[in-house]
Amino acid sequence: MNAKICINLGLVIGGAVGVMVGLLHGLQCCTPPQPPTWGQLALDGLLVALVVVFFCVAFATWIVHLPSAPILGLSLLIGLLVGVLLGPIAYQIPYPWLALLICSLLGALIAWIVCRFLCGRSRNLKLQEGR
């Protein structure tokens, strides 16, 4: 697996979650105003991440001609983690452009860790099979 794919996916999904949830910064519902819970923001982040995953998979499959099943699985895994973890963080950042930058970098980091874990695991399995 190429780490570039993971990092690019993390950058894109993280950036989207950052800017979209970041735009909600300061908005509160109800009277008296109640700040959104961590769960609500994680759900918001997940929703944005899933929408972006759909577009990423479509582009990677139809335009870049990457195999659809592995890309779908990888994107969903990265999207799930990035959406849930970065949604609450993005809400706290006052400027959407800053939220985009910070969350895209964090998204790339999360995706890189995911790929390190997956690649290390598959390499270990191959080594065990070889013995």
Contacting positions for another protein (CB under 8 A): 2, 4, 7-8, 11-12, 15-16, 19-21, 23-24, 27, 29-31, 36, 40-41, 43-44, 47-48, 51, 59, 62-65, 95-98, 100-101, 104
Read off the DSSP letter of residue 25.
T
Nearer to another protein, 25 or 72 (CB): 25
Tokens of 79: 């999207």
**Quick one: tokens of 110?**
């999360």
User: 113: which residues sit within 8 A by CB, 6+ positions away?
Assistant: none
Closer to another protein by CB, 7 or 80: give it: 7
Least CB distance to another protein at residue 128 (A) = 18
Helix, strand, coil shares of the chain as percentages rounded to 5?
A: 80, 0, 20
Backbone dihedral angles phi then psi of residue 34, each to the nearest 5 degrees: -120, 125
Q: Least distance from C-beta 77 to another protein, angstroms?
A: 19
- Least Å from the CB of residue 12 to another protein: 8
